[in-house]
Chains A and B, each alone.
Chain A
Amino acid sequence: MSNLSQFLKKLTTGKIAIFLTLAHVLSATLWVYYAPLSRVAFFYFITAFFTLYAMSTSKLFKFSVAMVIALVVVPIIGIRNIFYLEIIFQMSVFSALALGLNIVVGFAGLLDLGYVAFYAVGAYLWAFFGSQQYYVMPYPAGTAPAGLPFLLPGNAFFLFLFLGIIAAAITGIILGLPVLRLRGDYLAIVTLGFGEVIRVLANNMDKPVNITNGPQGITPIQRPTIPQFAIDSFNAIFGGITGKQATLAEIYNVFFYLLALLVIIIIILVANRLNDSKIGRAWAAIRDDETAAIAMGIPLVKMKLTAFAIGASFAGVMGVLLASFRTFISPETFNFMQSIGVLTMVILGGAGSIQGVILGAVVVVLLNLQVLQGLSLYLSQLRQSDAVIPIINFAWKDLSNQLDPSKYQKLLFGFLLIVMMIFRPGGLIPMERKKRELLLEESEETKSGASQ
């Protein structure tokens, strides 16, 4: 046992660690580069981040390697196979959402089951102002004439990134004011209700005045303009390596990915600073024992509102980003399952731990987009083949068409939530404070065990 841990320690420190990390990153990059369609290669590539995280090397080294991967390697392999860029974009969107929810659930201990509502507020904000919707208002859904002008130019998007923050934060405060005095479990149900209210409103606010265009959703939503020279210079630098000229659509993918990355970095900075500040300690106190926190003079409702508003604002900015990236949004994007999906990421990774939450988001998106969809693809191939399961004599052709694993995300989320709660409530990477608590509990248990 001690031999093994010594061996592991040797592997994860010093020059060997640097060498292993670089070897993993390089081999993964080359593999993905030469086999752009292989799922295994992509999976191996993603694990490079974990190697980078797990090795105890200097911060500067970690940071520079991560930057090179994020800014150089990902765009190149993304252009070579646009599906990877989509996955990485989703990973960054959900990481940002999970980090935002983490502030509410992980730091302040408030279970928010309607988090996606704030995401919807941001998305609909830009969808309304960044499309023709303002001029569509007098017409019932689906009857608007073609050729209506846009209200604002596409570049107003950057302004709306900030307005999205403000709008979502205000929504968070409006919702939070009446309900934050409630106990934890009631709060969960009320936020769930609020999430549903926002979705139903989005679904039905096409009359008497057509604001949201109802279930059909709003499209087209504008994107900011990317100047021609940016595309040219991107192609000049990367064209040789990617082996093809990137089109405008692909450049947009890269652009939104980088923007999401920027938001994540800002969120991580903000979350880290908050967690170490007076506010963060107040949140931790509220999370661990509300009554004791009040006794210590912590303004309970104010602190909870702060957590709610900050968490909401991150969802708001991601909403604006998503509306612009997809150029289309509809109420179904913001259903209850999305809220639970984000919650699953937080719980899986470890509520309160920033690395953990990002890990959770990456794993859930991978499971969702790679594993479940891969299984679906595999099953449909089996269905078309003449293969038969030998012993029970079952022909794959007879398998029901309804069995499509990519539609069973709820099963995945539910399973993950139960398993994590029973076996590892702290998450894959528990937060530092929790780790210390767990250690303390263990030592207490051994003590009491010894005394008996």
Chain B
Amino acid sequence: MKLLRSFNFKELLRPIGQMIMFSLGTSVVLSLIIIVSALLLENTAVGVETFENYKMSLFNFALFNLPQVILDGLTIGFVYAAIALGYTMVYGVLEFINFAHSEIFATGAFVGVELLIYLKETGKLTDISTATAYLILAGAILAGMIGAGFMAWLVERVAYRPLRGSKSRLVPLISAIGVSFLLQDTIRLTESLTTGEFHRIFPSFGNFSDRINFGQINLGTTQIMLGISIKSIIVIIAAVAMLVALNYLVNATRVGKAIRAVAQDRTTAALMGINVNAIISLTFIVGGVLGGAAGVLFALKFTRIDPFVGFFPGMKAFTAAVMGGIGNLTGALLGGIVLGMLETFAGSYMGVFTMGAAGSEYKDIFAFGILILVLIFRPQGLMGENVTQKA
């Protein structure tokens, strides 16, 4: 009973509420934008061409795709949020962009997928019950978390700690870029030496590829299918669980208090008896663990991974962290969801709305455009306070 009372339920429920709010808000706003622009463009050349290509009006086309786009956007948004938390935590504590975080993510993905491939090759993945499949997936995610957490700790110890206290802010950043490149090719080297190829495929097992259909909505002549793949559900649930756990760790435990203290003022925190080096290591490990789990989830969702898989998700997650206000955990969450949604919406509708001139091939640089806009007009991010540069 005492244990239960010491549990801070408010901190457990608050992030869930925030996530639901953010997801709903973003999807409603973006859907409205799409619907309004579809209505506006209906009678122009865009509408005519859509009708020729898809045999339905632009408005119906927009509505037809909407549920799927929202779900896809949410799924990728939560993955971004999980990676963005790694950036934001390290930035909050050290004021330093951990450029190698995208490779920590890739490390997690490779550890998890290699474990699954090993199990598959030894025949342990055939004829297993659904429950076992879920357990094995959980094990793979756990392995990815451990691998990535260890890698994050190692990188901090070897490449960042010697540079702490250097005069220029660029010195650790350049070192981080070096780590990022080094890790990319190290993963590639290990993979190609041990397996002969450097891209890996997530083995198919369990019922993760199935879809659950909720039914359909009839809309005039077209039907909107409502459904979601089990993969996406797993990704969303796992990400939400991690985010809640992290929020609890940072906001409701003693260790979390220490992390916040170090982020606020390293010297004073040290004077209060906090082991600053240990807390910084811990921050990197926690960020790495989240990144690693996100890596395995990413592999589950997109199946194919290669050593360079981290680059774009990493950049987008960084954008998400900046967009939400870097150093702010809730902000990273919001940024991840908004960015994932924006990107999926842009990827799905830009091609149709611009008549094929600028389609989903620009999806990857869309995030950079947002990053530049955010930095120009609201450098402190959506939820960030106006922080001044520490000297």
Which of B45-53, B135-143, B358-366 is the contact stretch? Answer: B358-366
Residues of B within 8 A of A418 (CB): 159, 175, 178-179, 182
Q: Binary interface profile of B, 354-391, with partner A (CB < 8 Å = 1, else 0)?
A: 01111001101101110110011001000000000100
**A417 in contact with B97 (CB, 8 Å):** no
B165 within 8 A of A: no
CB-nearest residue of chain B relative to A203? B361
What are 25 sample pairs from A and B whose C-beta atoms fall under 8 A apart? Answer: A113-B177, A179-B372, A185-B97, A185-B173, A194-B368, A196-B364, A196-B368, A197-B365, A200-B361, A200-B364, A200-B365, A207-B356, A337-B181, A408-B185, A414-B177, A414-B180, A414-B182, A414-B184, A415-B178, A417-B174, A418-B159, A418-B182, A421-B171, A422-B159, A425-B168
Interface status of A188 (Cβ within 8 A of chain B): yes
With an 8 A cutoff between CB atoms, is B198 at the interface?
Answer: yes
Chain B residues with CB under 8 Å of chain A are 96-97, 159, 162-163, 166, 168-175, 177-186, 188-189, 192-193, 196-198, 311, 315, 318, 322, 355-358, 361-362, 364-365, 367-369, 371-372, 375-376, 379, 389
**Among the listed A179, A185, A193, A417, which residue makes an inter-chain contact with B178, where contact means beta carbons less than 8 Å apart?**
A417
Q: Is A245 an interface residue (CB 8 A)?
A: no
Q: Which of A197, A337, A402, A421 contacts B198 (CB 8 A)?
A: A402
A44-72 CB contacts (< 8 Å) to partner B: none
Closest residue of A by beta carbon distance from B307: A410
CB-based nearest A residue for B377: A178
Which residues of chain B come closer than 8 Å to A189, judged between CB atoms? Answer: 97, 315, 318, 371
Which one of A336, A410, A421 has the greatest number of beta carbons of chain B within 10 Å?
Answer: A421
Q: Are B175 and A421 in contact (CB under 8 A)?
A: yes
Contact of B193 among A337, A343, A402 (CB under 8 A): A402
B311 to chain A: closest residue by CB: A336
B365 / chain A contacts, CB cutoff of 8 Å: 193, 196-197, 200-201
CA distance A336 to B97 in the complex (A): 18
Measured between beta carbons, the chain A residues less than 8 angstroms from B180 are 414
Closest CB of chain B to A296's CB: distance in Å? 17
User: Interface size class for chain A?
Assistant: 35 or more
The 6 closest A-B pairs by CB, nearest first: A417-B178, A414-B182, A414-B181, A193-B368, A402-B192, A411-B185
Chain B positions within 8 Å of A186 at CB level:
322, 375, 379
Contact of B168 among A109, A183, A194, A403 (CB under 8 A): A109
B96 to chain A: which residues have CB within 8 Å? 185
- Interface-central residue, B175, B183, B315, by most chain A CB under 10 Å: B175
Q: Considering the complex, give the chain B residue whose CB is closest to the CB of A111.
A: B170
B170 contacts A109, C-beta separation under 8 Å: yes
Determine the residue in chain A with the shortest Cβ distance to B371: A193
Chain A residue numbers with a CB within 8 Å of B183 are 414
Q: Add 20 more A-B contacts to A189-B318, A414-B183 (CB < 8 A).
A: A185-B173, A190-B371, A193-B315, A194-B372, A196-B364, A200-B364, A203-B361, A207-B357, A208-B355, A337-B181, A400-B192, A402-B197, A403-B189, A408-B188, A411-B185, A413-B181, A414-B184, A415-B178, A416-B178, A417-B174
Mostly helix, strand, loop or mixed at chain A's interface?
A: helix
The reply to whether A417 and B362 contact each other, CB–CB distance below 8 Å, is no
Q: Which secondary structure dominates where chain B touches chain A?
A: helix
Given contacts A179-B376, A189-B371, contact A400 B196 (CB under 8 A): yes
Question: Which residues 322-362 of A have a CB within 8 angstroms of B?
Answer: 336-337, 340, 343, 347
Question: Is B185 a contact of A421 with CB atoms below 8 Å?
Answer: no
Q: Give how many A-B residue pairs fall within 8 Å (CB-CB).
A: 136
Smallest CB–CB gap between A431 and chain B, Å? 13
Which residues of A have CB within 8 Å of B355? 208
In angstroms, Cα B160 to Cα A421, docked, is 10
Q: B98 → chain A, closest Cβ, in Å? A: 11
Interface flag for A149 (CB, 8 Å): no
Most buried by B among A207, A208, A403, A417: A417
State A153–B185 Cα separation when bound (angstroms): 44
User: Chain B contacts of A207 at CB under 8 A?
Assistant: 356-357
Q: How long is the Cα–Cα vector from A166 to B369 in the complex, in angstroms?
A: 25
Query: Would you call A422 and B318 a contact (CB within 8 A)?
Result: no
Question: Whole-angstrom distance from the CB of A21 to the nearest CB of chain B?
Answer: 35
Assess whether B163 is in contact with A179, with CB atoms less than 8 Å apart.
no
Chain A's nearest CB lies how many Å from the CB of B340?
18
Q: A204 vs B368: C-alpha distance in the bound complex, in angstroms? A: 16
Q: A111-B174, A196-B364, A418-B175 are in contact. Are A178 and B159 (CB under 8 A)?
A: no
A240–B172 alpha-carbon span in the complex (Å): 55
Tell me, in angstroms, the Cα distance from A221 to B300 when the chains sit together: 45
Q: How far is the CB of A3 from chain B (nearest CB, A)?
A: 34
B368: contacting residue among A109, A197, A417, CB under 8 A? A197
**Interface-central residue, B177, B185, B188, B362, by most chain A CB under 10 Å:** B177
